[in-house]
Amino acid sequence: MEYARIAKPPAAEMPLRPNLADYEETRRSWSWERVRRELDGLPGGSLNITHECLDRHLKTARRDKIAMLWEGKDGETETYTFAQMVAGANRAANGLRKLGVEKGDRVFVFLERVPECYFTVFGTLKLGAVIGPLFSAFGPDAVKDRLADSGAKVLVTSPDLWARVKDIRKDLPELEHVVLVTRRHPAGPEGGVLLWDEAVGSQSADFETVATDPEDFSVMHYTSGTTGKPKGAAHVHNAIVGHYATGKHVLDLHEDDVYWCTADPGWVTGTSYGMFAPWSNGATSLVYEGGFGARAWYSLIEKYRVTVWYTAPTAIRMLMKAGDEAPQKHDLSSLRYTMSVGEPLNPEAVVWSERVLGLPFHDNWWQTETGAILIANYAAMEIRPGSMGRPFPGIEPAIIDDDGKELPPGEEGNLAVRPGWPSMFRTYWNNKPLYDSRFQNGWYITGDRARMDADGYFWFVGRADDVINTAGHLVGPFEVESVLIEHPAVAEAGVIGKPDPIAMEVVKAFVSLNDGYEPTDQLRREIMAFARGKLAAAVAPREIDFIASLPKTRSGKIMRRLLKARELGLPEGDTSTLEED
C-alpha cells in the first residue's frame, strides 16, 4: 500500500528550512571543495576534526555558547561551553601524549555516555591519533576482539565497565595503558591502571592541535559482516566535510537549535551525528546518559526545549506503543524537525508522528562505511512515507544488477554508490582485500537491496546478506555462532534474524547438541546466559531452538536462509545445494 505523501512545510516555516528547497539546483551546482572552504582548515592544507568542531568556534561569539548539555542517568546535569569543551579535549590530548600516544596510534574509549567520553574522542583526534569508540554494553569478547585487531595502545574506561572485561588484558600485549574515569565509583585496589583525574585532570588546558592531513585516519567503528569477526571501518579527518554538510543540509541545524541525537557514541551515529555534525555547525547538543523511556524522553525534550531530534525506528515504535496520550502530557512545542535512521522506518510511524507530534519523522539512510548520510528526506521537501529519500548533493547512488549494470526506476537491485565522497571509509583495518571487494565495476556495493522510483526517491527492500539488524544494531550471524559453539553442549549453531514488531529483527539461534546433552529449558537458559556474558545483550540470541542437525550446503556452509524460511513458514526456495544425508 502506498501511503499519502506529506506535503512540504508551509512557506511561513521556510526561513528555518531553506537548505535544499531548490533541490535540483543545489545538486547541479554542488561542490565539495566549496563546502570545505566553509570550514577553517589548518595551515598547510591540514584538516582536523576537533579543530572544525570545537577550536574554530573560539574565535567567534560561540566561544561561550553551550556546546553540550549533559544529563546523567540519575538526573544530574552539567553544561559545557565550546571553550570548556576545548579545555577538556586539550587536557585529554596532553594526558594521552604523556602516556606515549603518538599520531596514528589507536585509543579506544569504553565508557558510559559521560563528558569524559567526549573529551577523550576530541583529545585523541587533536593528537592525530585514531579513536575507536566501543558500545558500553559490550561483553569481554566483543571488547577484546576490537582492541586486539586494532592494536589499541590505550583504553579509557570506567571502574564498572573495566570490572566486566578486565580478564582480557593478558591477551592484549599492545594495550599499554588503561585509564579509569572514576566520576561514579572509585577504582578498586588492583594495580596496573591509571586514574583519569591524575593522568588527564591535572594536565594543561592548552594544546596545539596536530596538523593532520585530510587523509590521516581519525575514527574507526567496528561493523558486522556475514563472515568473520566485526571489521574496523576506518575513516579520515576529511570526513568532517561530509558531517558538516549533512549537519547543515539534512539535520537543518541553525544557530539557535538545541539538537538531540539519541544514539550511543559506540555506534557511528553517535559520533558522526552525536558529535561531529552538530558541533561543526556550532549547535547546542544534548547528551543523555540514560536509556530509553517514553516519559523520560518526552520530559527531556520539554526540559531542554529540544528543537531538532534524530532517533531510530525501534525507539519510535516503542514511543508509539507507549500511547498517543503520553506526548500530550508534555509541552513538546519546541520541536520543529524530527529524523530517523538505522533501520527501515515504517510508513505508519511517519503518519503517527505527524498526527501525534505534529511532525513527521524524516527517514534517512547511510552506513558505518559511508560515514555520513547519503540519502534523505529533507526538511523542505515532500515526504514519501516508507522511502529513505533522495540522494544528498554530490552523492551518486544507483540500483545495479550483479554485473554492475544500472537498472531502471522501479526495479529492485543492489544499492550502490559512486565512490569518492569525503566521509567514505578508507579501509577495513587489517583487511584491505575485504575492503577492495566492496568496490566493483566502479561502484561501492552497499550490501543493501533497494529500488528507486521515477522521481529519484529510494526505497529500502532488505539486506543482500545474512547480517541481522536488531534495533538498529548490525549483528553478524557468524560472530554469534562462534560464541555459541564455545559452549560445551553446542555442536553446531546457525543464527538468523527473526522479524519482531519493535526491534525489527531479534537474534534467533538454532543449535544442535553434542552427544550426552539433553535439550532442556535449563540448558537453553544456560546457553543464552553464556552468550550474553560474552557478547552484548543486544547481540546475544533472544531465542534458541534445539535442532537435530543444521541444513548445510554440500560445501558445508550453514544455510541460514533455509532456517529463516522454515522459521517463517515460507517456501524454501532453491535447495539444490543442500547437503544430502
Note the residues at the interface with ligand PRX (CB under 6 A): 223, 268-269, 341-344, 363-368, 388, 446-448, 460, 463, 469, 474
Q: Where are the alpha helices (DSSP H) in 397-471?
A: 432-437
Select 344 or 497, whichever has its Cβ closest to ligand PRX: 344
Is the Cα dihedral 265, 268, 270, 271 positive or negative?
A: positive
The dihedral over CA atoms of 197, 202, 204, 208, expressed in degrees to the nearest 10, equals -40
Select 209 or 368, whichever has its Cβ closest to ligand PRX: 368
User: Rounded to an integer, what distance in angstroms lies between the CA atom of residue 153 and that of residue 175?
Assistant: 4
Select 129 or 375, whichever has its Cβ closest to ligand PRX: 375
Q: What is the DSSP letter of 276?
A: I
Residue nearest to ligand PRX (CB): 368
Is the Cα dihedral 150, 153, 158, 163 positive or negative?
A: positive
Select 109 or 474, whichever has its Cβ closest to ligand PRX: 474
Select 107 or 475, whichever has its Cβ closest to ligand PRX: 475
Write the Ramachandran bin of 461: left for phi over 0, alpha for psi from -120 to 50, otherwise beta: alpha
- Residue 193 beta carbon to ligand PRX: minimum distance, rounded to whole angstroms: 31
Question: For residue 284, what are the CA distances in angstroms to 4, 82, 322?
Answer: 34, 9, 28
∠ CA 231-342-112, rounded to 5°: 70
Burial of 420 (0-12, 13-18, 19+ CB in 10 A): exposed
- Residue 262 beta carbon to ligand PRX: minimum distance, rounded to whole angstroms: 13
User: Rounded to an integer, what distance in angstroms lies between the CA atom of residue 267 and that of residue 495?
Assistant: 22
Q: Which of 164, 142, 137, 152 has the alpha carbon at shortest distance from 476? A: 142
User: Rounded to an integer, what distance in angstroms lies between the CA atom of residue 247 and that of residue 274?
Assistant: 10
- Residue 309 beta carbon to ligand PRX: minimum distance, rounded to whole angstroms: 16
- Residue 100 beta carbon to ligand PRX: minimum distance, rounded to whole angstroms: 32
- Residue 406 beta carbon to ligand PRX: minimum distance, rounded to whole angstroms: 20
- Residue 340 beta carbon to ligand PRX: minimum distance, rounded to whole angstroms: 7
Select 150 or 446, whichever has its Cβ closest to ligand PRX: 446
Select 304 or 366, whichever has its Cβ closest to ligand PRX: 366
- Residue 480 beta carbon to ligand PRX: minimum distance, rounded to whole angstroms: 16
Those residues whose C-beta lies under 8 Å from the C-beta of residue 286, and which sit 6 or more positions away, are 68, 69, 70, 71, 258, 259, 260, 300, 304, 306
Select 55 or 264, whichever has its Cβ closest to ligand PRX: 264
Q: How far is CA 91 from the centre of its chain?
A: 27
Select 250 or 306, whichever has its Cβ closest to ligand PRX: 250
- Residue 472 beta carbon to ligand PRX: minimum distance, rounded to whole angstroms: 7
Give buried/exposed letters for 521-552 (b at 16+ CB in 10 A, else e): eebbeebbebbbebbbebbbbbebebbeebbb
- Residue 387 beta carbon to ligand PRX: minimum distance, rounded to whole angstroms: 9
- Residue 371 beta carbon to ligand PRX: minimum distance, rounded to whole angstroms: 9
The Cβ of residue 329 has, within 10 Å, a number of other Cβ atoms equal to 11
Select 172 or 461, whichever has its Cβ closest to ligand PRX: 461
- Residue 6 beta carbon to ligand PRX: minimum distance, rounded to whole angstroms: 16
Those residues whose C-beta lies under 8 Å from the C-beta of residue 160, and which sit 6 or more positions away, are 112, 184, 185
Select 72 or 342, whichever has its Cβ closest to ligand PRX: 342
HSE of 490, CA atoms in CB hemisphere, 13 A: 26
Select 372 or 513, whichever has its Cβ closest to ligand PRX: 372
User: Rounded to an integer, what distance in angstroms lies between the CA atom of residue 9 and that of residue 359?
Assistant: 10
- Residue 130 beta carbon to ligand PRX: minimum distance, rounded to whole angstroms: 18
Select 81 or 224, whichever has its Cβ closest to ligand PRX: 224
Task: Read off the C-alpha cell for 114.
Answer: 559521560
User: Rounded to an integer, what distance in angstroms lies between the CA atom of residue 14 and that of residue 380?
Assistant: 7
The length of the chain is 581
User: Rounded to an integer, what distance in angstroms lies between the CA atom of residue 493 and that of residue 43?
Assistant: 55
How would DSSP label each residue in 182-193? -SSS---S-SS-
- Residue 273 beta carbon to ligand PRX: minimum distance, rounded to whole angstroms: 9
- Residue 20 beta carbon to ligand PRX: minimum distance, rounded to whole angstroms: 17
Select 257 or 466, whichever has its Cβ closest to ligand PRX: 466
Residue with cell 593528537: 127
Those residues whose C-beta lies under 8 Å from the C-beta of residue 202, and which sit 6 or more positions away, are none
